[in-house]
Structure 1
Amino acid sequence: MSVLISGCFGFIAKHIIHDLLDQKYKIIGTVRSQEEREKLYKQFGNNSNLTLEIVEDIRKEHAFDDVFKKHSQEIKYVLHTASPYDLETTKFTEELYKPAVFGTRAILNAIEKYGSDTVERFVHTSSYAAIMDFETERVEGTVYTENSWNPDNWDQAQECASRAYNGSKVLAEKEVWNFVKEKEGKVKFKVTTINPGYVLGPQTFDEDISKKLNTSCEIINKLIHTDPSSEINPSEIYGCFVNVLDVSKAHILAFQRDELIGKRLLMSEGRFSTQDVLDVLNEDFSVLKGKIPIGYPGTGAMHHNIGATVDNSETHRLLNFKFKSFKETIDETAEQILRVENRQGH
């Protein structure tokens, strides 16, 4: 039996593919174009356990129907990772809401039509964005847990791209939970959602390092390439982080372990801010000293609470593995970037 992964060209998805192939799973993945398909086949060495199908636009009502018509009897697990994370867009509905919400609806409907008897587990890549409240994120004393929900509706989410992204994620996740409740008895699959904060860490392949990286990793990449005289807001970025390797592991455990059925896994290994990234880069990479801003060392969120906190002790208990540290995560990300740029690491 196979694992279906949507959005295979994404940062998280590539790591999941790598880890599943290592465990000898057969994968049916979706990509947006022939170009993406050819690149992924090449990157994964034309592995015979990887089959890629093209789904050009997940916003379309029947986007995943052909994939499930073709492979329905093979697919036992579905990992829905496809969802845009773009904080520069101004087209909130078309480029955030519709891909997230309509895409989720399309894959769930395809499972019901063609895989209701064969698909056993559905793992949804949600986000901390579906948990946090935009109004209280920087209010000290606020505590978020696996049971917390972003209260925004789509009208409230129009304030800015960040809030619109958060709104798209909470509404997409609600699609999943509402679907399984409404379709009880009609589909047999069980759900787990993965709710990570900023997902940081290395790219699966060095060749994926480019001038501009995916939205989360670009936080680190941008600081590596920021002139030391630039004005830096040490708390511009504030949130919780988790290493992409841990997020990949959680996706796989989510369909392997029965105790994770029906759970929201809030993946965070602590709070950080822009200043915390600068502190690690300046301390651990001699090649960057004098080349990037220093900011105000020791004043970041890792040392001083500047807003809401996260209690994800239930997630740690359920997953039962140690998450990678902030220092390790920043080091892994920066080392790869500097190596590809032929700049000495440490």
Structure 2
Amino acid sequence: MTSTSVFVSGANGFIAQHVVKELLSKGYTVIGSVRSEAKGEELKSLVKNDNFSYEIVASLTEEGAFDEVLKKHPEVTVFLHTASPFSFSVEDVEKDLMKPAINGTLNALNAIKKYGPQIKKVVITASAVANFGFGPHFDAEKVYNEDDWNPITYKESLENSFFGYFGSKKYAELAVHDFMAKETVNFDISFINPPYVFGPQAYVVKDKANLNLSNEVINRVVKLSKDDTIPAEGSVFVDVRDVARAHLVAFENDETVNKRLLTIAGRYTLDTIANIINRYFPSTTVPKGDESRNDEIYKNVHKYDNSRTNKLLGFEYTSLADTIFDTVEQIYNA
């Protein structure tokens, strides 16, 4: 058991809730930031653990957003920054996606520098889209790894919210690298870069009408009827519980300092997901998938080599079958 206190920003997010759960199971004390008292109380009622408390940070992007919270908690020695604004339905890409992602992250780092001198480890929840080229930058032959950067320019990022999402992840992470190069700080930093994150919610699903964006991929298949056509789509994925474990490895293992952990478990197609659902849930309405077209679909899926990350993590990823089973079981039983 440990008496270490860990701060988790955006604690009620999909990944963050799993991080909180994992930390508490390991005996850490957790302080989470949420946007409102209602969200904090809801999370507290789900977590049901005396080692968890919350603080309200109404807006990540207001200057000094984390200052008061860190002044109040001098016991915190680890800061996990999982909070990030995210929506594809934005009116102003720069104002609503790019600036909040960049400024929210820099607000956290500036607060740690000024008011958290005792904080020794910082982990940033980044994204594999900061590594991968998408859209016009997709390269079917390239094997992407931890050192790669999405070639999207800042100007391109502003063209639409889809590009804005890729840009926000890339430029928020670059802002951190820039900050670390320029500033003198007491802490070490690591990055977690997951692709599509699948898996069950950490706690009860209250509203399954719309799951987090990644799990909507699975939910879309779940909602299909026998006569529906399965779209020819695929990508790379990781289980949310593995992403949570990676956050702990990132601050517990000194070998991860300054490293980008590209947490990818494998590839999937919607056909494969449909067949896993049919295998485990025979009464489902989901049509059978046609996996004979997987190879064709995979031609448009990123190739990758994350062996350096996997060596540092030291655990086996959850399989696609287990991830889909656990997710779909929760959807059906919610």
- TM-score of Structure 1 vs Structure 2, range by shorter chain: over 0.9
Q: Distance in 2 between matches of 1:327 and 1:276?
A: 9
What does residue range 1-346 of structure 1 map to in structure 2 within 5 Å?
1-45=4-48, 47-71=49-73, 73-115=74-116, 117-135=117-135, 138-183=138-183, 186-235=184-233, 238-288=234-284, 291-300=285-294, 304-340=298-334
Q: Distance in 2 between matches of 1:301 and 1:333?
A: 25
Aligned to 1:344: none
Q: Distance in 2 between matches of 1:311 and 1:136?
A: 21
Q: Secondary structure at the match of 1:240?
A: strand
Q: CA RMSD in A?
A: 1.8
What is the identity percentage for the equivalent residue pairs of Structure 1 and Structure 2?
A: 37
How far did 1:66 drift? 1.1
Aligned to 1:343: none
How far did 1:304 drift? 4.5
CA contact (8 A) 2:18 2:241 kept: yes
Q: Distance in 1 between matches of 2:153 and 2:67?
A: 29
Which 10-residue stretch deviates more, 267-276 or 51-60? Answer: 267-276
How far did 1:302 drift? 9.7
1:188 is aligned with what amino acid?
Answer: N
Q: Distance in 1 between matches of 2:274 and 2:159?
A: 29
CA gap of 1:92–1:205, structure 2 versus 1, over 3 A, is same
CA contact (8 A) 1:191 1:262 kept: yes
After TM superposition, the score normalised by the length of structure 2 is 0.93
Q: Secondary structure at the match of 1:84?
A: coil
1:248 is aligned with what amino acid?
Answer: A
Question: Any unmatched runs of 5+ in structure 2?
Answer: none
Deviations 1:115-153 (A, max 9, x none): 1x2010110000001101124665421110000001222
CA contact (8 A) 2:137 2:152 kept: no
Q: Distance in 1 between matches of 2:181 and 2:68?
A: 25
How far did 1:113 drift? 1.0
Question: Any unmatched runs of 5+ in structure 1?
Answer: 341-346
CA contact (8 A) 1:198 1:241 kept: yes
How far did 1:98 drift? 2.6
How far did 1:308 drift? 2.6
Moved over 6 A (4+): none
CA gap of 1:332–1:91, structure 2 versus 1, over 3 A, is farther
Q: Distance in 1 between matches of 2:167 and 2:39?
A: 28
CA gap of 1:139–1:276, structure 2 versus 1, over 3 A, is farther
Q: Distance in 2 between matches of 1:299 and 1:161?
A: 30
How far did 1:75 drift? 1.4
After TM superposition, the score normalised by the length of structure 1 is 0.90
CA contact (8 A) 2:127 2:193 kept: yes
Q: Secondary structure at the match of 2:108?
A: helix
Q: Distance in 2 between matches of 1:13 and 1:113?
A: 24
2:232 is aligned with what amino acid?
Answer: P
CA gap of 1:250–1:302, structure 2 versus 1, over 3 A, is farther
1:296 is aligned with what amino acid?
Answer: D
CA contact (8 A) 1:234 1:295 kept: no
1:330 is aligned with what amino acid?
Answer: I
Deviations 1:142-173 (A, max 9, x none): 11000000122221113332221111001111
Q: Distance in 2 between matches of 1:282 and 1:17?
A: 32
Q: Secondary structure at the match of 1:53?
A: strand
Which 10-residue stretch deviates more, 196-205 or 269-278? Answer: 269-278
CA contact (8 A) 1:195 1:267 kept: yes
